């Protein structure tokens, strides 16, 4: 399992790669992930129909710049891949600053930052630069060059599966289409890699998806059966210093929603209701699927000034924040793996616990009172309708205490799954 420092190093390793929804940058990112966990790689050809969408042409870029009359690059793709609007068509021209201005994007409120812009499905081109750079450009002619290609190719994505004791699946999804943006979404990728390494002999089968946003999730859903998916998390913005935020699934009270709310209960956090705007939870939760898939972030998308700018760099995220995100996910999945419904086999009155040695087993324990109460709550609510998480929430006891009580009662023959 990667430490916080190792997760941060993985972010730094992936940060310079020029990612988009297709292309060699996505493949290079999957290569970097594959250095830590094995991946099944998939290449879906341009033109493939995926529900109402079509896999687009593949975009790759080698170089881009704006140069002044002396040949000096005043905007240089080699310095930051954010400088070029994603999916820009090739350009080789000389034009005046006035002609160039409609193709330039800045952030006047943050004059030293470079924005992130894309144009996936509308052929155009453009550059992103700091407002202070634009303000310093004199009138005159400039050489404009974008050495890119848009051609038939493939959409690439990767999967890592941790086999469980059952075939029912939990999915963890991260998008890999953003270029040099550390929190959105490289931190999420790094946390997902560490989480995949940490899972040992889980109850559920865990499927980790690393794919481009929107078109990647739609493509995956179109190519795969979803009957085995029981729960899921879309993971993004996992490394900033803000409090954790969980966005519920479309169902609103799916088991994954209840589990994450319980895992977050003792720390500062925010719970948000579902909306059809955001990351790929909106694909998994579209009405034709309506899967129990929520989204976990720290500060949500568009909720911090650095979002989709050059200020979202490796210095913006912290190893400790990524570790904290990982801790919550591990706790949540531990609950998910152990959450069951039980039926009381002696439901007429309270069964005698002493003669079964259950009271004796508590002797000398510092938490004896809590353990006893947990047994009584499990016996009372083990009616086949309440799961262990529901019992923990209603009783106010910790999930671990309730799960341990259920195990003890099961071993004594008083409850069954």
Annotated binding residues for Zn(2+), as ranges?
Answer: 178, 184, 308
174 within 8 A of 160, measured Cβ to Cβ: no
Backbone angles phi, psi at 73, to 5 degrees: -75, 115
User: What's the CA gap between 365 and 62, in Å, rounded?
Assistant: 66
Which of 134, 129, 220 lies closest to 172 in space, CA to CA? 220
Q: In terms of DSSP H, where are the helices of 209-318?
A: 215-223, 255-263, 281-284
DSSP 8-state assignment for residue 184: I
Cβ burial 319-356 (10 Å sphere, 16+ → b, else e): bebbbbbbebbbbbbbbbbbbbbbebeeeeeebebeeb
**Which residues define the annotated binding site?**
178, 184, 308
DSSP for 27-92, written as a single string? HHHHHHHHTTS--EEEEEETT-EETTEE---EEEEEEEEEE-TTS-EEEETTT-GGGB-BTPPPEE
């Amino acid at each position: 399992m990667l430490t916080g420092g190792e997760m941060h190093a993985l972010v730094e390793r992936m940060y310079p790669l020029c990612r988009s929804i297709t292309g060699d940058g996505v493949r290079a990112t999957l290569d970097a992930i594959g250095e830590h966990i094995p991946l099944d790689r998939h290449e879906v050809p341009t033109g493939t129909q995926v529900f109402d969408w079509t896999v687009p042409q593949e975009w790759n870029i080698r170089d881009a710049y704006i140069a002044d009359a002396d040949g000096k690059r005043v905007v240089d793709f080699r310095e930051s891949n954010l400088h070029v609007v994603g999916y820009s068509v090739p350009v080789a021209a000389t034009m005046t600053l006035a002609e160039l201005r409609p193709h330039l994007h800045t952030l006047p409120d943050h004059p030293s930052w470079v924005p992130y812009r894309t144009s996936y499905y509308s052929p155009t081109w453009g550059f992103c630069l700091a407002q202070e750079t634009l303000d310093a450009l004199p009138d005159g002619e400039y050489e404009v060059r974008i050495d890119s290609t848009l051609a038939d190719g493939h959409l690439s994505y990767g999967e890592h599966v941790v086999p469980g004791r059952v075939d029912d699946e939990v999915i963890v999804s991260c998008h890999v289409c953003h270029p040099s943006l550390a929190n959105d979404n490289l931190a999420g990728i790094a946390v997902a890699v560490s989480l995949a390494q940490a899972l040992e002999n889980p109850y559920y089968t865990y499927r980790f998806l690393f794919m481009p946003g929107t078109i990647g999730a739609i493509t995956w859903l179109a190519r795969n059966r979803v009957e085995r998916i029981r729960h899921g998390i879309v993971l993004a913005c996992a490394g900033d210093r803000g409090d954790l935020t969980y966005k519920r699934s479309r169902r609103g009270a799916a088991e994954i929603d209840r589990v994450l709310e319980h895992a977050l209960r003792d720390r500062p956090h925010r719970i948000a209701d579902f909306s059809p705007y955001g990351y790929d939870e909106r694909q998994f939760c579209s009405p034709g699927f309506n899967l129990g898939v929520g989204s976990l972030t720290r500060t949500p998308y568009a909720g911090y000034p650095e979002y989709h700018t050059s200020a979202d760099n490796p210095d913006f995220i912290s190893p400790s924040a990524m570790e904290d995100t990982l801790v919550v996910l591990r706790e949540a999945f531990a609950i998910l793996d152990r959450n069951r419904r039980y039926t009381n086999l002696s439901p007429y009155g309270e069964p005698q616990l002493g003669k079964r040695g259950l009271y004796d087993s508590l002797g000398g324990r510092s938490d004896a009172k809590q353990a006893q109460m947990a047994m009584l709550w499990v016996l009372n609510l083990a009616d086949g309708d309440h799961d262990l998480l529901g019992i923990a929430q209603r009783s106010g006891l910790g999930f671990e205490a309730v799960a341990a009580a259920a195990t003890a009662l099961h071993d004594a023959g008083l409850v069954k799954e």
